[in-house]
Structure 1
Amino acid sequence: MGNKDIGMVGLGRMGANMARRLHLKGMKVIAYNRHTEKATELAKETGMHAASSLEALVQALPTPRVLWLMLPAGEATQSHIDSILPLLSRNDILINGANAFYEDSIAQSQKVEAVGVHYIDAGVSGGIWGLREGYALMVGGSPEAVAEVTPFLEALAPAVDKGWLHCGPVGSGHFVKMVHNGIEYGMMQALAEGFAILQGKTEFGLDLAKVAEMWRYGSVVRSWLLDLTADTLAKDQVLADIAPIVADSGEGLWTAQTALALKIPAPVITLALQMRWASQGRDDYAAKLLAMMRNEFGGHAVQKEA
């Protein structure tokens, strides 16, 4: 195996657990976070090294350096790249693990590659379960750069030969991850709607937890999302304390926009995205106007806010 040293920048839920998994797999991880106490706490927990600054992080890594950024897409990632880039040397490797728009990653890579530093865009899936189960990794970059970081990909993935893919040139990793998340929107929406219909047929007295558990075995809809749904329903079928608000991270929108640009029909993904917007109250005015239309043409009663 080649280089085992890697710098992890950004220690949120994903970044910290990825650092932990790399450490457990025998990699030498140097952790950095803008709030340095997070890196210090992680170092005390695991025995890995914590860097007090980006300068210290870069100086502690042997060349060619490998730095993996797990930061929010946009300004947070860009500002860190702007700070790190002058500190790096030719043939160092910068990996952007944010949920970034693939066209932004392509533009970003051009600036990075212009000074001789390799750029890899990495789509990462696995959430809070990745530490134990491994992460799905979708990477884009030159064959040479990806070959250099393969030991880290193999350590993070569920197995050395499963769950990670060099998708193609820079941008392809984040593109595949974008579509992955769009599909996720559709699958989640279908499961949610199906269980809502089951819950609405009250005269049958269906036990939704038992239905979900049964579907996990032999059914064509069995999936990890169904596993998580079954676990949720086993704990609480009423969900009375849960607000009916579903956030969207942006990747569903990018997928829908890309489908439109390519003139590829994607109604399920698009509607699932719009249902998330509806849950955030963005259809409230339209719903109020619809109620008033019914009142105007048919005299149907309008319910007032309490």
Structure 2
Amino acid sequence: MNSIGVFGLGVMGANLAMNMANKGEKVAVYNYTSDLTEKFKSNFTSDNAEAHYDLERFVNSLEKPRKVFLMVTAGPVIDSVIDSLVPLLDKDDIMMDGGNSNFNDSNRRYHRLKEAGIHFVSVGVSGGEEGALHGPALMPSGDEKVYQEVAPILEKIAAQVDGKACCGYLGKEGSGHYVKMVHNGIEYADMQLITEAYQFLRERLGLSVEEIATTFREWNEGELESYLMEITSDILTHVDEETNKPMVDVILDKSGQKGTGKWTSQNALDVGVPLSIITESVFARFLSGLKEERVRADQMLSGPTKLDQDLDKQAWLELVRKALFMGKICAYAQGFHQYKQASEAYGWDLKLEEIALIFRGGCIIRAGILNEISDAFKADKQLPNLLLSPFFQEKMNDYQASLRKVVIKGMESGLSLPSLGASLTYYDGYRSSQSGANMIQAQRDYFGAHTYERVDKKGTFHTAW
């Protein structure tokens, strides 16, 4: 009998199945179309992997309680697969969804299957194709007792950092997919911030692609160390064989997305979190899609007429490094604030220090700084915001002047730096004990009698303006 079944043999599903088999699990695999099953069999030969072409035989090949790992397209397809599996499963069998599902769908599926006596585990999976094959970051949720039954497999196939699996029980219902969603939001912001630093170095400092690649490689040896910094320096060293130009220069500047960044921003509105950096990174992708309009606008709309003198490259390299680090930390602060708010709103009891540890390996945002982020939430369970922890407070106080200079210089130079700019605006807004919101409350009371609170009395008040 097989210990687990993988339903869906696209690249991610096939790689996860191979990962399981390579780690000693007996894996049954199945795909609705036989072509991917044949491809899997031709690419991977192992006594631990058993291919099936009949769904009922696939299910019956699994030891009880059966464990089925779904790796199919998120959305209606998953509901269709669940419909086909439920009649073949028994009470207490376990279904896991490793796709990029919306957490609301996962909540619904969790409760639907619970009524049928079947357990549902929502599993966020990050790391792309390589991570799936060699060790992804896994973010499972559902009933903790059920997680304990699948934990030996999931923790075995997950990435390992300092002897700890990048996998652990997160919370109830679909909170695993929620954690993955916000992970992707942070990923959007991180990518955009790196891109803006690249633009500044190239367009304002005049560095060559090769010089920026070297710079990023050096930065990746320090506090900016991360997977995204590593691959960006690799990208910048790649030359297009057809044109002999840097590969980055022959790629059209229109960025795509699969929706998880947008979901993160939409949910931030629901739970009341100022998610400006991540949201600006989503909007930047939308703006990049207006390529034809941007080309036209470039000919019609003016920018700065004259740039000031050449900048001191070494001095500005350090300013940009600090600005990038501060932008990243502000993005993490917003993302983890969203985790905190959602945990309270949905009753999930998310453990922020554990989430940070899961992100250290396998996933796209893996970075050295996640150890400090975990330590911050471990030291203070009630920490309202990452920026207020002693370590990051000191960094922000030291680096805020650098971020300020880079954003101002970028604006003076006509560069669009939406996420770096949003980082500074968020930082300044968060540290302001007095904001302009009193004027907004006065306006709301004037036109709609919405009332206001006073600084010198308790209660709510209205003025006959």
Name the TM-score, length of structure 1 as normaliser. Answer: 0.88
In structure 2, the CA distance between the partners of 1:15 and 1:85, relative to structure 1 (3 Å rule), is same
| Amino acid across the alignment from 2:41 | A
- Asked if structure 1 preserves the Cα contact closer than 8 Å seen for 2:141 and 2:169, the reply is yes
| Amino acid across the alignment from 1:268 | I
Shift of 1:277: 1.4
Q: Structure 2 CA distance, aligned partners of 1:65 and 1:132? A: 23
Q: Structure 2 CA distance, aligned partners of 1:138 and 1:33? A: 24
- Asked if structure 1 preserves the Cα contact closer than 8 Å seen for 2:213 and 2:233, the reply is yes
Bigger Rg, structure 1 or 2: 2
* Equivalent residue for 2:13, pick from 12, 15, 30: 15
Q: Deviations over 1:57-95 (max 9, x none)?
A: 111112110000011110111111111111100010000
Counterpart for residue 41 of structure 1? 39
Q: Structure 2 CA distance, aligned partners of 1:244 and 1:101? A: 28
Q: Structure 1 CA distance, aligned partners of 2:259 and 2:192? A: 16
- Percent identical pairs in the alignment equals 35
Q: Secondary structure of the equivalent of 2:168?
A: strand
Counterpart for residue 85 of structure 1? 86
* Equivalent residue for 1:210, pick from 208, 214, 229: 214
Q: Secondary structure of the equivalent of 1:239?
A: helix
Q: Structure 2 CA distance, aligned partners of 1:131 and 1:174? A: 16
* Equivalent residue for 2:180, pick from 168, 177, 201: 177
Q: Deviations over 1:195-219 (max 9, x none)?
A: 122121464546121111111112x
| Amino acid across the alignment from 1:173 | G
Shift of 1:105: 0.6
Q: Deviations over 1:36-73 (max 9, x none)?
A: 12223323422211110221211111211000001111
Q: Structure 1 CA distance, aligned partners of 2:78 and 2:155? A: 24
Counterpart for residue 226 of structure 2? 223
**Runs (5+) with no aligned partner, structure 2:** 240-245, 303-465
- Asked if structure 2 preserves the Cα contact closer than 8 Å seen for 1:4 and 1:151, the reply is no
Shift of 1:287: 8.7
Counterpart for residue 144 of structure 2? 143
- Asked if structure 2 preserves the Cα contact closer than 8 Å seen for 1:18 and 1:131, the reply is yes
| Amino acid across the alignment from 2:183 | H
Q: Structure 1 CA distance, aligned partners of 2:296 and 2:207? A: 33
Shift of 1:293: 8.8
- Asked if structure 2 preserves the Cα contact closer than 8 Å seen for 1:139 and 1:173, the reply is yes
Say if 2:164 is the partner of 1:161. Answer: yes
Counterpart for residue 280 of structure 1? 289
Name the TM-score, length of structure 2 as normaliser. Answer: 0.59
Aligned length: 290
Shift of 1:110: 1.4
Shift of 1:182: 0.3
- Asked if structure 1 preserves the Cα contact closer than 8 Å seen for 2:2 and 2:61, the reply is no
Q: Structure 1 CA distance, aligned partners of 2:37 and 2:228? A: 32
> Which protein is richer in strand relative to its size?
1
Q: Structure 1 CA distance, aligned partners of 2:68 and 2:214? A: 46
CA-atom RMSD in angstroms: 2.3
Equivalent residue runs for 1:257-296 within 5 Å: 257-281=266-290
Shift of 1:171: 1.0
Counterpart for residue 250 of structure 2? 241
Shift of 1:240: 3.0
- Asked if structure 2 preserves the Cα contact closer than 8 Å seen for 1:30 and 1:49, the reply is yes
Counterpart for residue 297 of structure 1? none
Q: Secondary structure of the equivalent of 1:46?
A: coil
Q: Secondary structure of the equivalent of 1:49?
A: strand
Q: Structure 1 CA distance, aligned partners of 2:31 and 2:21? A: 17
In structure 2, the CA distance between the partners of 1:231 and 1:288, relative to structure 1 (3 Å rule), is closer
- Asked if structure 1 preserves the Cα contact closer than 8 Å seen for 2:138 and 2:154, the reply is yes
- Asked if structure 2 preserves the Cα contact closer than 8 Å seen for 1:120 and 1:141, the reply is yes
Q: Structure 1 CA distance, aligned partners of 2:294 and 2:211? A: 35
Shift of 1:98: 1.2
Q: Structure 2 CA distance, aligned partners of 1:158 and 1:98? A: 18
Q: Structure 2 CA distance, aligned partners of 1:199 and 1:124? A: 34
Counterpart for residue 71 of structure 2? 70
**Runs (5+) with no aligned partner, structure 1:** 295-306
- Asked if structure 1 preserves the Cα contact closer than 8 Å seen for 2:7 and 2:70, the reply is yes
Shift of 1:256: 0.4
Q: Deviations over 1:255-290 (max 9, x none)?
A: 101111111101110010111112222x86699689
In structure 2, the CA distance between the partners of 1:223 and 1:33, relative to structure 1 (3 Å rule), is same
Counterpart for residue 400 of structure 2? none
- Asked if structure 1 preserves the Cα contact closer than 8 Å seen for 2:2 and 2:62, the reply is no
Q: Structure 2 CA distance, aligned partners of 1:96 and 1:204? A: 45
